[in-house]
Amino acid sequence: MSEHVVVTRADGLLTLRINRPEKKNALTRAMYSAMAEALLAADAEPEVRAVLITGGAECFTSGNDVADFLQAPPVSQDSPVFHFMRALFELKKPIVAAVAGAAVGIGTTLLLHCDLVYVSRCAKLKMPFVSLGLCPEFGSSLILPRLLGHAKAAELLLLGEAFTGEQAASWGIANGVLDDGLATLEKAAAMARRFQQLAPSAVAVSKQLMQAPGREELRQVITAEGELFGQRLRSPEAIEALSAFMQRRQPDFSKFL
Ligand code: COA
């Protein structure tokens, strides 16, 4: 349970709404745990035909809570963020995301594990892991170079370049671009509700078939990234970068060899 994650069930949909606007929907350990619990429940409830993930009409999520990264870094693969991402990765039912505003860090990474993604035109997606002294996570170092080619993936993962909703759609990260956050939410919900009319086992088997090639390799990469990410979270580089964010200053990496 977390006051910052609103879970609702209606029309065959389980909706997870990230709701911490004062921190741009930054994700805490309690929020990951609440989302993991809801996802596990979704697979167990026959009346749920699809899952919708949203941060509302203004902001998807600014990523992992930076204070949590400093105070309670997820260095074990038993941490709440791993429970959440494992539940997302293993979910048998279709997952639809509605992305408005910022989708930073894990906010972009998690989209790579959704089935359908709708974004607002002014959405700003970004994976600033290297800028934070960290490294890619949850399969993005495998998925993005395959999807985009090494050169484009290097801009996104090494330089941490931001990209728009339009770009996300043109690169195959998103299905469609809508004019604003509300339209994005409505479109994503409408698409997710379509699963209510479909045969649930046929959907589940088809999703499984689409995921099967390369699945084991992806699992191994996720584990390897997780170990490195945990090590990096304790590194002086990451501590400098994360402290700089909290202190609203630029990080100084000049002292690192
Ligand atoms: N963790 C903790 N707090 C966060 C946060 C995060 N990931 N993202 C934003 N916040 C907090 C800010 O510290 C600020 O708190 P305050 O009002 O108590 O000072 C509040 O949310 C508003 O953020 P602010 O940066 O002022 O809003 P903005 O509209 O100028 O920018 C973002 C929004 C999302 C672009 C910017 O906050 C950002 O880039 N955050 C991303 C942090 C990050 O690197 N996340 C990735 C972790 S891998």
Kindly list the averaged pLDDT for each block of 10 residues, start to end, along the chain of length 257: 94 97 98 98 97 98 97 94 98 98 98 98 97 98 98 98 97 98 98 98 98 97 97 97 97 92
Which residue has a Cα nearest atom 33 of ligand 1? 24
> What is the C-alpha to C-alpha distance for residues 49 and 257, in angstroms, rounded to an integer?
52
Nearest-Å Rg of the Cα atoms of the chain is 17
Q: Which domain holds residue 216?
A: 1-179+199-257
Is 60 a domain residue?
A: yes
Is 87 a domain residue?
A: yes
Taking the CA of residue 59 as reference, the ligand 1 atom at the shortest distance is 34
Is 186 a domain residue?
A: no
Q: Which two tokens stand for residue 242?
A: 């994360």
Residue type, 85: M
Q: What is the pLDDT of residue 257?
A: 79
Is 192 a domain residue?
A: no
By three-state DSSP, how is residue 79 classified?
coil
41 Cα to the center of ligand 1, angstroms: 30
Q: What is the pLDDT of residue 231?
A: 97
Which residue has a Cα nearest atom 20 of ligand 1? 23
Q: CATH number for the domain including 243?
A: 3.90.226.10
97 Cα to the center of ligand 1, angstroms: 21
- Report if pTM > 0.85: yes
**CB under 8 Å to 110, separation ≥6 — which residues?**
53, 85, 88, 97, 138
> What is the C-alpha to C-alpha distance for residues 195 and 176, in angstroms, rounded to an integer?
18
Is 188 a domain residue?
A: no
Q: Which residues have CB under 6 Å of ligand 1? A: 23-24, 26, 62-67, 102, 104-105, 128, 132, 245
Is 62 a domain residue?
A: yes
Which residue has a Cα nearest atom 14 of ligand 1? 23
Residue 117, φ and ψ in degrees, nearest 5: -130, 125
Is 193 a domain residue?
A: no
Is 98 a domain residue?
A: yes
Number of domains in the chain: 1
Which residue has a Cα nearest atom 8 of ligand 1? 62
102 Cα to the center of ligand 1, angstroms: 10
Which residue has a Cα nearest atom 6 of ligand 1? 65
128 Cα to the center of ligand 1, angstroms: 13
